[in-house]
Structure 1
Amino acid sequence: MKERFVMDCGALYLSKGKSENFQGDDAHFVCAEKGTIGVADGVGGWWSRNVDPGKYARQLMQNCVEAIKNRAGEEDIDPKTVLLKAYKETKLEGSATACILTLKNNVCLFFLFRSQHLHAANLGDSGFLVIREAEVVYKSPIQQYKFNHPYQLGKNIADWKKIEELKVTVKLGDIIVLGTNGLLDNLRPSDIKAIVNNQFHKKKKSEASFAAGPEHFHMGGKRDDITVIVARVCRASHSGHSSRLFRRMVKLIIGS
């Protein structure tokens, strides 16, 4: 039987807050043993009611991890089921967008062939890209009523009915970039692709010159918390080899 594929991941969070004690609105998790990752973005409008939306996002992600762990012994993780269970267990005031992904290994006839796909549950304006052979082959759709007014999970909010399930075929070597809207509102897919390609393909430019180059320097933009998880589809025996590279790549993405 062919070897199982996994996601080799790196993650980073950058808060827009100036205080070291400010945890920000975003949250995320990486559950490597179950091939599942997720991000959440607390909806900032709650600050006007003196409610910290980051607490809701962090509790939601923690409840996702608990829902995954409670499925011990079960190979198949259903991201929509996980997200709905986590939502029902999150009792705090506030609301958040969320996107969680799991990598599925499908064993075909006589165990002779494996196919892989991402199974995602998404609500709101967080999302993900799949980059293959230097090209963006998939970008998840944004769910929002209007700009800066996304679908969201929260108490007495019925948007949970709009959670979208997505299935995307992936191949060995594909790069997955999962991020909150702080990333996706400020960088185009082509910008993210350029940074990823620079790290995975030999180029004359150094990392420093690439990041500082005028074509990759952005003025303005929407000031927001940013969470990024970068994952590479690889064989299980090769996982963990790219963690340093991913951390560097994530810093470049956020630094742009």
Structure 2
Amino acid sequence: MAACISSLGHDQYSSKIKFDKLFNLSRYKRYFDFSSHAINYDNPENQSNKKLKFSHDDEFSSNKLPCQKMVVGSVYLPKDNPNKPLGEDAHFMYELYQTIGVADGVGGWALQGIDAGIYARELMKNSFIATYDEAMKDNPSVAQEMELNVEKDDILMVGTDGMLDNIFESEIEEIVERAIDQKLKAEELASQIGNIALYNSFDRFADTPYAKASEGRHKGGKIDDITVIVAYIQ
């Protein structure tokens, strides 16, 4: 299981969201625009306690808004498998806590009786909850943490092997540069990258990271679940 969580800051409020609906959308596109998506609060006037990192310490001032915000879009393209219409990837995006997460299910776990798709969805569901509920068995403070500085107009991208095995980083950079020129929205860029990765995955002769890593044992792309999350830093 490979998992990635990214956070840019959050309020100390939870929202009433139907988790089963959020984590069991079956196919294709799912996105939030953090600049406009609204969540109802019980006490909207008390929107304070902003933090600039994912951990729950008091290192930063509790009364200042983050310097940046994320505008996020995603695409999920599960591989065609009638027995697993939801695929084995999972991800979430949480506007209030400015947090995104992605998990790549490990299909080999089936040999041990584990459904990788269910595991990935539960991991992301509980990661989502843990962003605001410190009473969880585990919480974000026990995770391995790495911090990266971001600036306005940076673009953050995370994805699963379905993306990374089928499209080179240099290709992604070219797509992103064109997207900037075309002023594409985050979900449009995510969809573009996801669909190119999907196309390459079916191309038996494509030059792909997966083929390169196989050192001649494999040609073309790798058919897999594809998840792409794009976050514009504003």
Name the TM-score class by shorter chain.
0.5 to 0.7
Amino acid at match of 1:82: P
Q: CA deviation at 1:69?
A: 2.5
Q: Given residue 225 of structure 2, which amino acid in structure 1 is its aligned partner? A: D
| Residue 82 of structure 1 pairs with residue 140 of structure 2 | yes
Q: Residues 88 and 117 of structure 2 are in contact (CA less than 8 Å); yes or no, is this contact kept in structure 1?
A: yes
Q: Deviations over 1:92-120 (max 9, x none)?
A: xxxxxxxxxxxxxxxxxxxxxxxxxxxxx
Q: Give the TM-score of the pair, scaled to structure 1.
A: 0.48
- 2:121 is aligned to 58
2:231 corresponds to which residue? 231
Residue 46 (structure 1) shift: 1.6
2:162 corresponds to 1:182: yes
Where do residues 1-256 of structure 1 align in structure 2 (5 Å cutoff)?
4-19=67-82, 22-71=85-134, 81-82=139-140, 84=142, 163=144, 165-202=145-182, 219=206, 220-234=220-234
Q: Which runs of 5+ in 1 are unaligned?
A: 73-79, 85-120, 122-162, 235-256
Q: Whole-Å Cα distance in 2 between the matches of residues 17 and 49 of structure 1?
A: 23
Please say if residues 64 and 83 of structure 1, whose CA atoms lie closer than 8 Å, have aligned partners that are also in contact: no
Q: What displacement does 1:51 show?
A: 2.9
Provide the rounded CA distance (Å) in 2 between the counterparts of 1:81 and 1:188: 34
The answer to whether the Cα contact below 8 Å between 1:8 and 1:231 also exists between their aligned partners in 2 is yes
- Distance in 1 (CA, whole Å) between partners of 2:77 and 2:122 is 18
State the alpha-carbon separation in 1 of the partners of residues 224 and 147 from structure 2: 28
Question: Which secondary structure state, in structure 1, belongs to the residue aligned with residue 178 of structure 2?
Answer: helix
Identity %: 41
Task: Give the counterpart letter for 2:177 in structure 1.
Answer: N
Unaligned runs of 5+ in 2: 1-63, 184-188, 207-219
Residues of 2 paired with 1:2 and 1:55: CA distance? 36
**1:39 is paired with a residue of what secondary structure?**
strand
- Assess if the C-alpha contact under 8 Å between 1:11 and 1:227 holds in 2: yes
SS of the aligned residue for 1:176 comes to: strand
Give 1:36 deviation, angstroms: 0.7
Distance in 2 (CA, whole Å) between partners of 1:37 and 1:171 is 17
RMSD: 3.3
Rounded to whole Å, the distance in 2 between the matches of 1:181 and 1:13 is 12
Name the SS for the 2:157 alignment partner: strand
Moved more, 3-12 or 174-183: 3-12
Task: Tell me the SS of whatever aligns to 2:223.
Answer: coil
Instruction: Provide Cα deviations, 1:30-50, integer angstroms capped at 9, x if missing partner.
Output: 011111100001111022344
Alpha-carbon spacing, 1:83–1:187, altered in 2? closer, same or farther (3 Å): farther
